[in-house]
A and B are shown apart, each in its own frame.
Chain A
Amino acid sequence: MRKDNARSSLSQISRIALAVGALCASGLSQAVDFSYSGFGNITAGKVISAGGIDIGYPDGTQWNCPCLIADFSHGSVYEQKWSLAPESRVGLQGNWSFTSDLSFTAQAVARHAAQKARADIEWAYLSYNLTPQLTVQLGRKRLPLFFYSDYQDVSYAYSWVRVPPDVYGWAVVNYNGANLTYRGDVAGWAVKSTVYAGKEHTKKNPIAKLETADPSDINWDSMWGVDLEINRDWFTARLALNKSKQQQFRGGVQTSPDPATGSHSPQTFAALSFVIDKDNWLLRSELSYIDRSPARGSYRGRMIGAGYRIDKFTPMVTVSQLKAYNSAFTTLVEKDAMTSFSLRYDLSDTSSIKAQYDRSRWDLLDGNDVRRKLVTVSYDFVF
């Protein structure tokens, strides 16, 4: 469970990118090459079994629990009745190319997670190729904390119904700022590395809503990060680091960190992942390390999944775990684990259907636990 939280607003830098993009688009309308693409999924799920104790999370006044949180970041909660609302979504992306090296991209995603319909601008950035290897981008982007973070909404692009919530699912999923990406061939390896800096201020954060209906605003300031991904043939590895300073407000009052200790508290996210896609075998793994000491609790997460492609079917078994520690990062206080059995069927080159069965257990380490079983079916597409 995550006592943490957020929702996103466009910062000044993204507004500038939007304005410049619009200006370029209108001023150079004859020269602009416009293309659009999109993705979506219609997903239905239901908690089929519940055991253990009721810990009041997610908040029982807003959801008819026992429930299972499928996506912390967006506040997706399944109850004991079939529902399409928590995870179904549709995204539309437009790309305006002004020259072969300068373009503007915007993406909006509509969903009904966290019991409220909303459409958010997830991307709005200008992109410029400095050289064939180096690209600089300015504006709003998804935050690449983990391997699937920046395309976790595009469920067509992976084999599960959703990315494992134990590793994924933090308060902030976007940032406004700038990044520089290198993409090239180094000693036979395809290398991609990005450095970025920025911030994100969120209003009515969905992860905070899981705790209480009182809206909470979460800010990640002074954020910077770096990632490195290498690929050769069937092997991909990725290392990522992100540092920022967080603060939370509820009703205008600072709730984290304790105002007596200052306006912000530091946090570090680190992740290492390996992906193997050889012949018909698939192996996906990720380790996460989240240090929020000394102000707040810290975490270690891990996930490993194995699958085998049989023609159009991809069955997969995935186990994930999140260990929560006290603020000094010395004592284990909770262990959350999930085992997922998923089956993907490639309906066409642009669509798939999936079925997934998840078993979740939050071990409170005091003799009590929270156990849930969830079934989900999904139709995913890109266009």
Chain B
Amino acid sequence: MMNTRPLTPSFTRSRSLLLMALASLALAGAAQADIAVIVHPSNAAALDEEQISKIFLGQTKTFAGGGEAVPVDQKEGATREDFGNKVLKKNPSQLKALWARQIFTGGAKPPRELGGDDEVLKFVASTPGAIGYVDAGKANSSVKVIKR
């Protein structure tokens, strides 16, 4: 049955409060540094978040087109944690436990770690199969941004 009752003032007020809360949450999110996932400019593979996760979690070693993927991680820090939380949807402890399983069962090896945004940019720009992530503000034309 459809609800034909008009919205009461208190309902509309609580709804606008909710909208305000959501808006401030979104703003808070935007205030954090954004992450750009980058590949070599020649890389034509279309990658969604799920495929990026699989590559960074060692579940697959190839791009959708078949080329070998060489993921590079950043040293522990805010950028790495942001990438883990937003793209891989895992916190540092979850990631560490996942890699402990891989490392101690003879599974995949964790991606190589580089020192920071500049090193990742340089590596990705010069390695055809590379995929990495940097602070969105640092991404430049030497690489291709596939997700921001």
- Contact surface of A with B, Cβ cutoff 8 Å: 37, 39, 91, 93, 105, 107, 123, 125, 127, 132-133, 137, 141-142, 144, 150-151, 153-154, 156-158, 183-185, 188, 190, 192, 231-233, 277, 312, 346, 349-350, 352, 382
30 contacts between A and B (CB under 8 A): A37-B104, A39-B100, A105-B106, A107-B104, A123-B106, A125-B106, A133-B62, A137-B106, A144-B105, A150-B105, A150-B106, A151-B100, A153-B104, A154-B100, A157-B97, A183-B60, A183-B61, A183-B107, A183-B108, A184-B60, A184-B61, A185-B54, A185-B59, A190-B54, A192-B59, A231-B59, A233-B50, A346-B93, A349-B92, A349-B96
B18 within 8 A of A: no
- Contact surface of B with A, Cβ cutoff 8 Å: 50-51, 54, 57-62, 64, 68, 76, 89, 92-94, 96-97, 100-101, 103-108
- Given known A-B contacts A349-B92, A349-B96, A382-B96, A39 and B61 have beta carbons under 8 A apart: no
- Given known A-B contacts A346-B93, A350-B96, A93 and B61 have beta carbons under 8 A apart: no
C-alpha gap A185/B59 in the complex (Å): 7
Q: Please state if B68 and A183 are interface contacts (CB–CB under 8 Å).
A: no
Residues of B within 8 A of A141 (CB): 106
- Given known A-B contacts A190-B54, A349-B76, A133 and B104 have beta carbons under 8 A apart: no
Other-chain residue from B62, B94, B107 in contact with A184 (beta carbon distance below 8 A): B62
Q: Please state if A154 and B104 are interface contacts (CB–CB under 8 Å).
A: yes
Residues of A within 8 A of B93 (CB): 312, 346, 349, 352
C-alpha gap A105/B106 in the complex (Å): 8
Q: Please state if A188 and B106 are interface contacts (CB–CB under 8 Å).
A: no
Nearest B-chain residue to A93, judged by Cβ? B104
Nearest A-chain residue to B53, judged by Cβ? A233
Q: Please state if A183 and B59 are interface contacts (CB–CB under 8 Å).
A: yes
C-alpha gap A349/B107 in the complex (Å): 20
The minimal Cβ–Cβ distance linking B94 to chain A, given in whole angstroms, is 8
Other-chain residue from B51, B58, B105 in contact with A142 (beta carbon distance below 8 A): B105
Residues of A within 8 A of B94 (CB): 277
Between A151, A153, A277, the greatest number of chain B beta carbons within 10 A of the residue's beta carbon is seen for: A151
Residues of B within 8 A of A183 (CB): 58-61, 107-108
C-alpha gap A185/B50 in the complex (Å): 10
Residues of B within 8 A of A346 (CB): 93
C-alpha gap A127/B109 in the complex (Å): 12
Q: Please state if A157 and B106 are interface contacts (CB–CB under 8 Å).
A: no
Residues of A within 8 A of B92 (CB): 349
Nearest B-chain residue to A153, judged by Cβ? B104
Residues of B within 8 A of A105 (CB): 106
Residues of A within 8 A of B107 (CB): 183, 192
C-alpha gap A183/B50 in the complex (Å): 16
Nearest A-chain residue to B51, judged by Cβ? A185
- Given known A-B contacts A156-B97, A349-B92, A349-B93, A151 and B104 have beta carbons under 8 A apart: yes
Q: Please state if A157 and B76 are interface contacts (CB–CB under 8 Å).
A: no
C-alpha gap A208/B107 in the complex (Å): 31
- Given known A-B contacts A151-B105, A188-B50, A233-B50, A156 and B59 have beta carbons under 8 A apart: no
The minimal Cβ–Cβ distance linking B82 to chain A, given in whole angstroms, is 15
Q: Please state if B60 and A91 are interface contacts (CB–CB under 8 Å).
A: no
C-alpha gap A225/B135 in the complex (Å): 45
The minimal Cβ–Cβ distance linking A32 to chain B, given in whole angstroms, is 15
C-alpha gap A142/B106 in the complex (Å): 9
Q: Please state if B106 and A154 are interface contacts (CB–CB under 8 Å).
A: no
Other-chain residue from A132, A157, A188 in contact with B100 (beta carbon distance below 8 A): A157
C-alpha gap A383/B45 in the complex (Å): 35
C-alpha gap A156/B50 in the complex (Å): 26
C-alpha gap A382/B103 in the complex (Å): 11
Residues of B within 8 A of A156 (CB): 96-97, 100
Q: Please state if B62 and A132 are interface contacts (CB–CB under 8 Å).
A: yes
The minimal Cβ–Cβ distance linking B81 to chain A, given in whole angstroms, is 10
C-alpha gap A141/B106 in the complex (Å): 8
C-alpha gap A190/B59 in the complex (Å): 6
Q: Please state if B104 and A157 are interface contacts (CB–CB under 8 Å).
A: yes
Q: Please state if A37 and B50 are interface contacts (CB–CB under 8 Å).
A: no
C-alpha gap A156/B97 in the complex (Å): 7
The minimal Cβ–Cβ distance linking A330 to chain B, given in whole angstroms, is 37
Additional A-B contact list (8), CB under 8 Å, known A150-B104, A158-B97, A185-B60: A132-B68, A137-B106, A142-B105, A151-B101, A184-B60, A190-B54, A382-B96, A382-B100
The minimal Cβ–Cβ distance linking A162 to chain B, given in whole angstroms, is 16
Q: Please state if A154 and B101 are interface contacts (CB–CB under 8 Å).
A: yes
C-alpha gap A142/B93 in the complex (Å): 25
C-alpha gap A150/B105 in the complex (Å): 6
C-alpha gap A157/B101 in the complex (Å): 6
- Given known A-B contacts A185-B59, A190-B60, A382-B96, A39 and B51 have beta carbons under 8 A apart: no
C-alpha gap A233/B58 in the complex (Å): 13
